Structure 1
């Protein structure tokens, strides 16, 4: 049977799913997407396809991938979405359509315990007081069980805190991996996970693993994802952020002192004395450098021209690192661990030299960030497109990029420019229509009297309008802010006046807040950017989304500022080509929280008058489907009065 006919037989009006699922609804957009994805995979083309919420894109691309006959990697935005694909969507496809479909779930190294690192950790003389004794015993009890019958995945440990101090000491890392030379290779959990993926049709990864693994593949060792013939990138709007993190690097005092500690613990006693002085000097210089940087650089700032003091300290540290690296390699018969440490030492020196270079770097945005009491120096790529060309596009011809939010103002130009997809061969482009009736299901409300966001009384006016809106929506709302300051100020003014359960980001973990929001009727959640996407609340529990201002990224944010500067230097005005499209996509993500099914109804309230008064406001409005616009509270009341 011809493939398009097979897709029709599965997804069509009288197809397999229609016959086996009660209430099945034919979605033309889903059929069109399955056709387009299969064509791209079959012909080794690139495809960018925006599939609005409700399209059924996951099922569409899974069917296309299975029919392609190729080994396909599917990358999602988060580990939660990975698990939904692997434990819910793929079993459904296997049960209803392709019983022989084989799939593997792949996670990054940091999720798995490393036998070698655990053994080294337990040999340390200072274990007492490092972490609560019951925490260590809990991990060791789990380790003994997983060694024989488990996967070595930290997810198997019940209630292990994200910030557990022991886990970073014992998990697998690229830096410490010895590859084929490791004595524990046959029992390595990462190797076992990778082996399970060799003979599958579909591998499920996430963007952070995908991009970090591309860099590791370039080095030629310690890769996690087996080779694939085609790639589908879901939630592709988040790919640039993941690449920015993993195509760059960061240096901290902890990273340098940890390197020194590892060298000391690995050196044989006869050599340790010879390295004692240079390692102590390196430790002192590193502490001096980061203490001085902490005095000079604010909370989150770009590194401008550095003074002679910083330059001299950096040069001394880099010389010391280079010398120690050479001496480690020149030891008589150095162990594989010492050779690995020599490479690590050299890499730290090279990266420190880049991030604290005397002249401005044209490839990286170099910036400093304060976290608690520590300072981290970052080098983030200004343009990830060139790296994708080298690491991915030249090697994997068939790639599909999809998301509900890729377009801005009716075009995909912004997305293509950010990921370097404008060069030959140019990708195919499709923007699917929404299956929802936004004219009937939604209302866009913008108050009549609201000051501009930079006005001194904006928070006061926002609080007044939020209160009026929530009274009419009977709670059931997300109130989303672009800053913690505004969130806290409006919450302070409004919370005590509301007769609904009021939740605020930061009071509890995100999962607990969402659980409480779903369970308590009429709840209101005050939150910031992390709730703009990846949150799924179906039905009446979420009937209103309030946005305090258009979500423009701060122009002084280090990476944003560097990218804007680069565009200006290339003769491109960054506001309309970069800042506006990025904000449009963020706003579309916020709206995506509201309408998840054809039975959902909801109001999007935007408290930023610029969407009506500024020229760029038309671009935002054009991207918000066909939601009817109202500026009257009476319309809001009438909308919520209709059952």
Structure 2
């Protein structure tokens, strides 16, 4: 029987040591996490801003790890939260709990191998020459000398940094370097020779990080590495029995991103150059010929989703597949440890890895249309466009239709999983996100109960349709035992009714494709004027943000910053430092701004953030749900919008003393059939459609801020 105190007592000790105050929601969450760890039941817990959710899951995680000797993995979506956990939350919590736990808890951070310097690549002379890559990237006949010189300077700095850094971790490098430069000094997991086969294995930064993680009680990682671990036959993360997924609302998208692959004419041509020194000239020329075929194919077909293989695609892709494998065979296996030529081994392994990955992508695309039922196809294929130095370059992409089966089989089947975020209930239910994770409906029999409800209820339609998401794409394997999970909303320390007004401008025309209407712009100007600045504008596109910023600047004598004018982090700091400043922007501001205090009293949202109608992956998922008898719009498009809307409105209240207004300038939130579903996804703000009332509230709030500032 353990002598370690129970979680409520440990939490109390930690809060007291950290100088905090008791929070009922935090205690409720910590107790629920402890219960899930004890029973093995998965848990989805929504904890509003200010709950202190990091401490609520760290305390029971540390207790479990110290008590059992087993590792707990904590996965986050953003670098910012990773740093917060490793540099602030974990050190302080570990210190606070050292006495009650009986020893100092150990923790470590672990990232993908590509985040660390590769000593072998740096010292073995396998860094690629920039000229050829630049030729491809620019699509012209002349390399960019400025880009080449920058690449050279940054690689030189990275070489010098090798002797100064103890971690080799890219995030510890200040200032940072471009992705292009970093790729010259790093390798992927598949390109790595392995510690036993590498001359620098004993000093490898990635291996040191992995070894440290293997001894830790809590390992902090990211959703991308969690995905790689789930998809890889080899163990990437240390052995563990509990996984905490913070920022869980982003889990499915991050897993999808890792499982997405692409082919372009430039990438095939680059691979031909990489292989040129390792194979006969004829073999390399064959791959170059395939690059031209792929480039021609993509040029002849309009961007968008493929519902079948278009004319020319089978020949181009099968030819590429066969030529890549011919080169793979010609290069031969990498020599094992103890043999000579480490430089040659590294070059061969890098080429073999790239050949295998592109070969597998070609095979995956060719097989994507085998099933005539689109809802049963594992993958979605489409042509996208990337902006490369001002030019649009077409790329053929393939992504999983659903990642629920993968998560169910590779994550939930092997560990107890705690999923948490400030926004997990969509339309008032956990089922939407749970379906994307591969989990069954929340409550036993809920599907039957929902079926009996009136079909006219949008929330009911969305819930029923969300449950059908688990049936699309590749199905999960049959479970030996049914997955059991619980959903819990621990609320928020904020009094939303008294702290914030949700204003929906019902009188405005619905947004159109032509941009912001004159009446809507007038509304923006009136609201910002009433607030005296202090406005965060969240827009559906960068074009909308820039157009609005330019128009407002001509009519209001207040500073208006716009995303793209500088680094986003610097713009947010400038916005927070001056109460009269406004900041307009798009997606990263919807989710990444934390500005408590009087610098932010008004959040403007130009329109409901539905996904773009030409988003091939979301549209394919929408059609797949419809093919299963569900409402694809409610399950996918409205679900996506609800989640992002909840994130956006969450920018206003960041501290218990914050006050203000969230103004949604899209009248459909008040008039459309799906409006109540979206509103059910938001905190219980005080709601109104009275613009005059709202402007009066903002004016009074501005006066309060000014008075407080004068006193200060």
On whether the aligned pair clears a TM of 0.5, the verdict is yes
**Whole-Å Cα distance in 1 between the matches of residues 33 and 335 of structure 2?**
56
Shift, 1:531, TM fit: 0.9
Deviations 1:449-492 (A, max 9, x none): 20011275743222111111101111111111112232222222
Shift, 1:315, TM fit: 1.9
| Residues 30-429 of structure 1 mapped to structure 2, 5 A cutoff | 30-69=26-65, 70-98=70-98, 100-121=104-125, 130-132=148-150, 133-146=152-165, 150-163=166-179, 165-179=180-194, 180-215=196-231, 217-218=232-233, 220=234, 224-265=236-277, 267=278, 272=279, 275-298=280-303, 301-329=304-332, 337=346, 338=348, 341-342=351-352, 344-356=354-366, 359=369, 362-371=377-386, 372=388, 373=391, 374-396=393-415, 398-422=416-440, 424-429=482-487
Gaps of 5+ in 1: none
Distance 1:119 1:598, change over 3 A: same
Shift, 1:115, TM fit: 1.5
Aligned with residue 593 of structure 1, among 651, 654, 657? 651
Deviations 1:206-263 (A, max 9, x none): 1122112322x32x3xx54222221000010000111101123222334333333333
Conserved? CA contact 1:7–1:34, under 8 Å: yes
Shift, 1:53, TM fit: 1.2
Conserved? CA contact 2:320–2:359, under 8 Å: yes
Deviations 1:589-615 (A, max 9, x none): 011111112111121100111111112
| Residues 553-632 of structure 1 mapped to structure 2, 5 A cutoff | 553-632=611-690
**Whole-Å Cα distance in 2 between the matches of residues 459 and 412 of structure 1?**
36
Conserved? CA contact 1:409–1:622, under 8 Å: yes
Shift, 1:414, TM fit: 0.1
Shift, 1:202, TM fit: 0.3
Conserved? CA contact 2:515–2:544, under 8 Å: no
Distance 1:461 1:360, change over 3 A: farther
1:489 counterpart = 2:547:
yes
Gaps of 5+ in 2: 132-142, 372-376, 442-481, 705-712
Shift, 1:416, TM fit: 1.0
**Whole-Å Cα distance in 2 between the matches of residues 575 and 3 of structure 1?**
53
**Whole-Å Cα distance in 2 between the matches of residues 525 and 380 of structure 1?**
34
Shift, 1:363, TM fit: 0.7
Task: State the match for 1:515 in structure 2.
Answer: 573
Distance 1:617 1:188, change over 3 A: same
**Whole-Å Cα distance in 1 between the matches of residues 429 and 60 of structure 2?**
25
**Whole-Å Cα distance in 2 between the matches of residues 453 and 492 of structure 1?**
19
Aligned with residue 498 of structure 1, among 556, 580, 585? 556
Distance 1:258 1:624, change over 3 A: same
Deviations 1:388-447 (A, max 9, x none): 123222222x11011110102221110111110117223111122222111110011122
Deviations 1:29-77 (A, max 9, x none): 1101000001111222211111111111111000110122331000111
Conserved? CA contact 1:235–1:402, under 8 Å: yes
TM-score, length-normalised on structure 1? 0.90
Distance 1:592 1:121, change over 3 A: farther
TM-score, length-normalised on structure 2? 0.82
Distance 1:632 1:62, change over 3 A: same
RMSD after superposition: 2.6
After superposing the two structures, state which structure 1 stretch, 436-445 or 340-349, moved more: 340-349
Q: Secondary structure at the match of 1:546?
A: strand
**Whole-Å Cα distance in 2 between the matches of residues 481 and 624 of structure 1?**
18
Deviations 1:496-529 (A, max 9, x none): 2222211001111111111111122221111111
Deviations 1:248-304 (A, max 9, x none): 322233433333333334x3xxxx4xx111211211221331243034233xx2134
Distance 1:119 1:348, change over 3 A: same
After superposing the two structures, state which structure 1 stretch, 601-610 or 223-232, moved more: 223-232
